[in-house]
Amino acid sequence: MTTASATPAATPAAPAAVRATVHGYPRQGPRRELKKAVEGYWKGRVQADELHDTAARLRREAWQQLAAAGLTEVPTGGFSYYDHVLDTSVMLGAVPARHRAAHDADPLDGYFAMARGTQDVAPLEMTKWFDTNYHYLVPELGPDTVFAADARAQLAQYREAAALGLAARPVLVGPVTYLLLAKPAPDAGPGFEPLTLLDRLLPAYARVLAELRAAGAQWVQLDEPALVQDRTPAELNAAARAYRELGRLTDRPKLLVASYFDRLGQALPVLAAAPVEGLALDFTGRAAANLEDLAAAGGIPGKRLVAGVVDGRNVWANDLRRSLTTLGTLLGLAGQVDVAASCSLLHVPLDVAAERALDPQVARWLSFARQKTAETATLARGLAGGTEVIAAELAANRAALASRAGSALTHDPAVRARAAAVTEADARRALPYAERSGAQRARLGLPLLPTTTIGSFPQTGELRTARADVRAGRIDEAAYEDRIAAEIREVIGFQEKAGIDLLVHGEPERNDMVQYFAEQLTGYLATQHGWVQSYGTRYVRPPILAGDISRPEPMTVRWTSYAQSLTGLPVKGMLTGPVTMLAWSFVRDDQPLGETARQVALALRDEVADLEAAGTSVIQVDEPALRETLPLRAADHAAYLAWATEAFRLSTAGARPDTQIHTHMCYAEFGDILRAIEDLDADVISLEAARSHMQVARELAGAGYPREVGPGVYDIHSPRVPSAEEAVALLRKGLEAIPAERLWVNPDCGLKTRGWPETRTSLEHLVSAARTLRAELPTT
Question: In what helix (H) or strand (E) does residue 586 lie, and over which residues does it extend?
Answer: strand 586-587
Q: Report the phi/psi class of residue 445: left, alpha or beta, with left for phi > 0 and alpha for psi in -120 to 50.
A: left
**Residues contacting residue 545 through CB under 8 Å, at least 6 positions apart:** 518, 523, 524, 525, 581, 582, 585, 586, 587, 588, 596
Establish how many alpha carbons lie within 13 A of residue 54's alpha carbon, considering only the half-sphere containing its beta carbon. 23
The residues that are catalytic are 717
CA nearest neighbour of 95 among 110, 82, 105: 110
Nearest to 694 by CA among 705, 683, 710, 681: 710
d(CA 348, CA 542): 9
Q: Which amino acid is at 479?
A: A
Distance CA 44, CA 112 (A): 14
CB 534 within 8 A of CB 134: yes
Q: Are 746 and 713 in contact (CB under 8 A)?
A: yes
Strand, helix or coil at 474? coil
Nearest to 141 by CA among 106, 109, 97: 97
User: Residue 617, Cβ neighbours under 10 Å: how many?
Assistant: 19
Q: Which residues of 429-467 are buried (b: 16+ CB within 10 A; e: fewer)?
A: beeebeebbeebeebbebebbbbbbbbbbbbbeebeebb
- Note the helical H segments in 182-227: 198-214
Contact status, residue 763 vs residue 498, Cβ threshold 8 Å:
yes
DSSP-assigned letter for residue 452: B
Q: Cα dist. 618→387, 594, 606, 652, 705 in Å?
A: 59, 27, 15, 11, 21
Neighbours of 605 (CB within 10 A): 21
Q: 665: part of which helix (H) or strand (E)? A: strand 660-665
- Collapsing DSSP to helix, strand or coil, 289 comes out as helix
